[in-house]
Chain A
Amino acid sequence: MKSIDSRIWLVLPAVLVLAVAFLGPVGWLLARAFTFPEPGLQNFAAIWERPVYLKVLGNTLLISAVVTPIVVLLAFPVAHLMAHGSARLRRWLIFLVLVPFWTSLLVRAFATAILLQRHGVVNSLLVALGLVDEPLPLLYNFVGLLAGCVQVLLPFVIFPLYSSMVRIDPAFMKAAATLGASPVRAFVRVYLPLTLPGLMTGGILVFISTLGYYVIPALLGGPRQQMISQMIQDQIATFGNWGMAGALSLVLLAATGGMLLLLQLTVGLKEVAR
């Protein structure tokens, strides 16, 4: 027996806390899906049969599917400037993205709501510029939800994309140009493929995070944008229906797990951790 082995016991306290205060409770909740109110698959049958559940699931997927490309498109130029701009500019940009990243999600959601109010800054600006005559409804609807999600999720794409871009050797682009490729062709054929790990990582992180969001849809969206986490809360707080809460949790968890599996298959989670 080497003395090194004694160190492995240090992992136990954390594992114990995780098992008792996380794995156990989550397992208990998911098990309710099959046992409450009675053993069987009736909760899943209800999700499949009653339009209200499918509508919320559809909403959740739709919102995630709309938010993800918007965030990726907006993040791309920022990450590009961060990776290929001057060192001074890079430091400023990183700081600029870190500040909201560290600020509480609730604070940012509230702040976005103030900006989007009927007589908020955005509407005043639009009216002052003569772009609209009447203030637009920007809050408690799809627009508000979208604006909040994008605000909160931008850093999740900017940073992975930056770390992919900063590793790209500029000589590749020069070589492509020397060989006669137009800038657009060089970008599409050489640069873009090299950013794929960052794009996939960021994109899937955004998609997964949006799937599980609760605060932003509850605060910035309207009743028609109800998402799955809100429905889970409703099942427990309003109906005391632990079986349905468990079943919806299992569906959400399966969707999240499926996306992570996709990431593992395309990029590899080890790469993501870098």
Chain B
Amino acid sequence: MRGDGMGAWRLLRAVMCCIVAAWLLAPLVVVVVISFSSAPFLQFPPPGFSLRWYVQLFSTPAWTNSLLVSVQIMVPAALFATILGTAASYALVRGGVPGARLVMACLMLPIVVPGMITAAALFGVYRGLGLNGTLTGLIIGHTVLCLPYVVATVTSALRVQDARLEDAAATLGAPPWAAFRHITLPLVLPAVLSSLLVAMILTFDELIVSLFVSSARVRPVAVQMWSNLLGDFDPTISAIASVCFLLALLVLLADLALRAGKSSRIA
């Protein structure tokens, strides 16, 4: 009797897991397959295979320019967010900042506040400052959006490290910067690099703030995709979507490798 119940649950669980797996992965598989289609429409399965949409993607200035713009935003924004976020995390966990919990909560706000509100707010304020349609405006916006992820990752890594290691270095006469540089930073480096990766992928994929703040001349990939999606779908979009997907996959694998390296060092 009891065995029967468990068997039914196991079967149901397996079926549900398959449904979820299909729901999560089928769209991505279909997009990647269609990007190699030889047909000028999004037919699945494709009637034949070719690289024409990739050729089209990398030979259309609108797309190549937008890729360049995305990289020009991604690199500084991810670096700024990682540096500012790591410094803030260090101060919050080790420095005894007054009201640390409140400061931490405020630093998390850009995740909690819906993207449309942030986008509208930045767009409104940028109008007076002439920052709309500039790389600077986009970089500032993206830096703020990435900060919470860096702070969350690095503070939790700092919390599991023993603060006494650093105190010992200080007692032995190491100046605070040297103690941080030689003791703490190497210990939390995997977390810092991991948050850099997350920040990179976040700014590369960010759409809503970019949609408001960008212009026809300074237009990141996500916005270029968006403006194409509102017209007729053409397979070039599935090519750029596959490129984005591949990028995400690579970054995820790098992040998993970082985490695996970290846990093996502890063990």
- A residues at B contact (CB < 8 Å): 3-11, 13-15, 17-18, 21-26, 28-29, 32, 74-78, 80-81, 93, 95-100, 102-108, 110-115, 117, 119-121, 124, 147, 150-151, 154, 177, 182-184, 208, 211-212, 214-215, 219, 229, 232-233, 236, 242, 245, 249, 252-253, 256, 260, 273
Contacts and interface: CB of A to CB of B under 8 A. Distances in A.
A61 B92 CA distance: 37
Interface of B: 2, 5-6, 9, 12-14, 16-17, 19-21, 23-28, 30-31, 34, 42-44, 80, 84-85, 87-88, 90-92, 94-98, 103, 106-107, 109-110, 112-118, 120-125, 140-141, 143-144, 147, 151-152, 156, 170, 176, 201, 204-205, 207-208, 222, 225-226, 229, 233, 237-238, 241, 244-245, 248-249, 251-252, 256
A99 B121 contact: no
Max count, chain A CB within 10 A of own CB: residue among B88, B95, B98, B121: B121
Contacts of A7: 90-91, 94-95, 176
Contact of A253 (B103, B113, B245): B113
A75 B24 CA distance: 11
Contact of B96 (A5, A111, A208, A242): A5
Contacts of B6: 183
Given A18-B144, A24-B125, A212-B116, A10 B90 contact: yes
Nearest to B42: A114
A107 B124 contact: no
Nearest to A95: B256
Nearest to A260: B112
Given A17-B140, A74-B23, 13 more contacts: A4-B95, A8-B91, A10-B95, A14-B151, A15-B103, A22-B121, A25-B118, A102-B252, A114-B42, A245-B120, A249-B117, A256-B114, A273-B156
Contacts of A249: 116-117, 120-121
Contact of B84 (A14, A113, A242): A14
Nearest to A115: B27
B25 A96 contact: yes
A81 B13 contact: yes
Contacts, number: 246
A157 to B, nearest CB: 11
B113 A26 contact: yes
A177 to B, nearest CB: 7
A256 B24 CA distance: 26
Contacts of B222: 104, 106
A148 to B, nearest CB: 9
B122 A25 contact: yes
13 contacts: A14-B107, A21-B140, A22-B144, A28-B124, A29-B124, A74-B20, A102-B251, A104-B244, A110-B31, A115-B27, A154-B24, A208-B112, A256-B112
A103 B25 contact: no
B116 A111 contact: no
Given A8-B95, A18-B144, A212-B114, A114 B34 contact: yes
